[in-house]
Structure 1
């Protein structure tokens, strides 16, 4: 069995998506006279497994192409938060062993429930404002969750978790498939597509054994 855990979810027109789903057209197809296939995609910056940069909620904040690679590559810790019903709190983070890690990935029941659906779940698990403040206060530079938003369901009007994390400079990874990742320490490699001047981009990500 491979020691590499792929966190990326497939991109396709019927996928789970906040807002407009991706579409594509075939520009070229293999025929007797044409040797190759070429497709053209229309996708949003927040499609699939993607990174939110601080500029997503901070005017003039760091854009996705300017994120320091040291924030998205390095030692990381997966926390088992599958018992959380709706909102991850500061107390939940401490109880799960978040102390001392600067890159955290939240494995919740989303990985085997909300993330597997093609339509938005009414009851996903997200990070609450107290959890976001804990991350900011403890110098966490990267946080990932297994759903299309880091925000908890009850806060998608003012988006306090995003506001706190973006103002702290914390990189957010959303739609991370953590179903195969056990709680513990790993080495994270996440490489956002450098959309110049933009607030987000698709970001293939993998976990390797801890170094």
Structure 2
């Protein structure tokens, strides 16, 4: 068995949308306390995380009620490293996405913008036409390798988020696929069970078995 950890490390200097995580030392052995204890202040969408339908749809399913079956099981890492700009339906078809319920798109983001400490000016995103294609083909979870699935030209309108989350498709963002070869895997993605939350940070791994 080989495990690929596709989770970004969480720390105060990490790539982050808006306010970065903060860490407070509550107790420490160095100060004579019985143990080391820290308190972290971070958002639900910190690092590698899952967007629940409630992120963009009032009254929709929050993260603690989404189906584990959508986040655990066979998945494809689709090679979209040749895509510039927005991922389109023809890119998904060429990458062999059809027939898969859990899809992770490996783009040039993984080796580029995802490795930078600050938000890039441009990155590869999933267009609304491709998002509708995913809905029409029964995809339950779509993963991408940047802070947001949206293309950088759509972060005012959030077109793809509306298409996907209104259809109940979960969105995994900030998946680090740099060291993961395209192909078929077993995905295990377990977001924190934050009650009634719009999303949650997650530990996500891809597994291959002999």
TM-score by length of 1: 0.97
Partner of 2:114: 115
Partner of 1:181: 180
Q: Is the 8 A contact 1:192 1:204 kept in 2?
A: yes
Change (3 A) 1:210 1:137: farther
* Gap runs ≥5 in structure 2: none
Alignment of 1:64-75 (within 5 A): 64-75=63-74
Helix, strand or coil at the partner of 2:90: helix
Partner of 1:42: 41
CA distance in 2, matches of 1:157, 1:9: 25
CA distance in 2, matches of 1:177, 1:109: 11
- Give 1:143 deviation, angstroms: 0.5
Helix, strand or coil at the partner of 1:111: coil
Helix, strand or coil at the partner of 1:189: strand
Q: Is the 8 A contact 1:54 1:170 kept in 2?
A: yes
Aligned residue pairs total: 210
The question of 1:23 aligning with 2:55 is answered no
TM-score by length of 2: 0.97
Q: Is the 8 A contact 2:2 2:209 kept in 1?
A: no
> Following superposition, which runs of at least 4 residues in structure 1 exceed 4 angstroms of deviation?
none
Q: Is the 8 A contact 1:185 1:210 kept in 2?
A: no
1:105-133 Cα offsets, whole Å, 9 max, x none, are: 00001111000001101111110111100
1:1-54 Cα offsets, whole Å, 9 max, x none, are: x71000100111111111111101100112273342110010001001000001
Stretch of structure 1 that moved more, 120-129 or 32-41: 32-41
Partner of 2:196: 197
CA distance in 2, matches of 1:63, 1:160: 20
1:136-178 Cα offsets, whole Å, 9 max, x none, are: 1001000100100000111111101000000111110000000
Helix, strand or coil at the partner of 2:64: helix
Stretch of structure 1 that moved more, 74-83 or 26-35: 26-35
Partner of 2:124: 125
Q: Is the 8 A contact 1:55 1:61 kept in 2?
A: yes
Alignment of 1:105-184 (within 5 A): 105-184=104-183
Change (3 A) 1:130 1:30: same
* Gap runs ≥5 in structure 1: none
